[in-house]
Amino acid sequence: MERPEEINARVARFGVTRHARDLWPDVSVRAFRAAEVELARIATAVLSGTTGPVAVRPDLGPRALGVAAFAGGVGPLVGYWCETGHVAADPAVARLFAMHLEHGRRRAARLRGELDRVIGAMAARGIEVWVLKGMHTAYRYFPDPGTRCYADIDLLVHPDSWVTACQVLAGLGLVEHRHPSQPRDSAWAPPGDRQLHTLDYVHADGPWSVDLHSSLDRVPFEGLETRLGSPDAAAGEVWQEFSHPVRILAQPQLLAYLAVHASSHFYAMMLGRLIELVLVARRDLGAGGGAAGWTELRELAQRTGAGRFMFPALDLAERLVPGSIDETVLRQVAAAAPRRLRRLVRAMAPATAQRLHPFPGLRERFVWVASFSEALAALVWLIRPHHGDTQWARVRRAWRRIFHASLTR
């Protein structure tokens, strides 16, 4: 196990250089890229229904494979595929991914307990809660809840319930950490030590928070938003998976939201998020009755203008597992994207879309610019000072850059 002071020093160096060589100095860029490519190859083969187990390249050692799997958010899933015989690996590699899966399952159970506690307290105050992203898709679309990596619990409440919801979280002993660049979001975490346990896999006891949202919109910079808005309660599904009923996004809003969220990490799109899109699209909109759903997704993209924000992730997901995303949808969202964005996406590969050598930073905010007014808004946002940056906010952003590949907040 790594010493806390060494982990902190590596994270601090990464915070300055934004280059993953400072997180994993013993893993070369070449080895990291080769491992990324191998993990994507395995995912493509398994998700395409390849007959027989997919063999992991024996010349790739467990160290590079484990680090790339952690960064890409696929370690527990590969562990599950090894456990179920879909993937065959050397004993050392199989043991490594078994550990990823063990921690994934323990973390899933831990966060489920925390979620039950939160939604129970919300229900007692009459607050309707929407469960977003991992705490939904892990249970509905992944083969085992522990195979979908997540750092946080994402919840959505109506803006009218925002103040009360914050009071509930404070009453549970959580502490708010809000950054002014994301006024519609607020993170609530347990007080005390936020020490990372390792930089090699998603540890069961690693930091977590409740990410509270009042809208589905992403805001790359002030003056530009994805315009998905807030879901209509009547259109959401009531889900009985947890201790109290919650709402979850229905199609096509679910796929649109996941695509926008994955794409918003433009230079750091994790392999796990592309796999998630494939799993969701194939289950809900795949062969056997999905035509109406794809039509509804095209209409939603047209109505909201969110097509350009969906394009990168949908395009890469289709290239990861061909046949997963409707061709007409892909043409429409590509046409909505600025020319530079289309060129950048088509120069990317699903395996290596996650850029951590180095992490590009602010450049990812501006790939969406499609007009002079948006370019001006981006410039104003860039030069205006941003205040209120707390130590927890800096630690949390570093954690997200390492694991969750989130936009810098």
For the stretch 146-180, pLDDT in tens is 999 988 999 999 999 999 999 999 999 999 987 55
Tell me the pTM.
Answer: 0.91
Task: Taking the CA atoms of 36, 38, 41 and 42 in sequence, report the sign of the dihedral they define.
Answer: negative
The Cα 82–Cα 74 span in angstroms is 12
Q: In 75-206, where do the E strands start and end?
A: 87-88, 130-132, 153-156, 175-177, 185-189
Distances (CA, A) of 54 to 73, 82, 259, 350, 361: 19, 9, 28, 19, 35
Indicate if the pLDDT at residue 198 is higher than 70.
yes
Residue 27 in tokens: 């893993």
Domains (ranges, CATH) in the chain?
4-404 (3.30.460.40)
Is 334's pLDDT higher than 60? yes
- pLDDT of 385: 52
Task: Read off the pLDDT band of 379 (50, 70, 90).
Answer: confident
Query: What are the tens digits of pLDDT across the range 56-97?
Result: 999 999 999 999 999 999 999 999 999 999 999 999 999 999
The percentage of residues in the chain with a pLDDT greater than 90, rounded to a whole number, is 72
Residue with tokens 């794409």: 263
CA pseudo-torsion sign 72, 73, 78, 79: positive
Q: Which residues, in sequence order, are CB contacts of 259 under 8 Å at separation 6+?
A: 277, 309, 310, 313, 314, 317
- Would you state the pLDDT for residue 200? 95
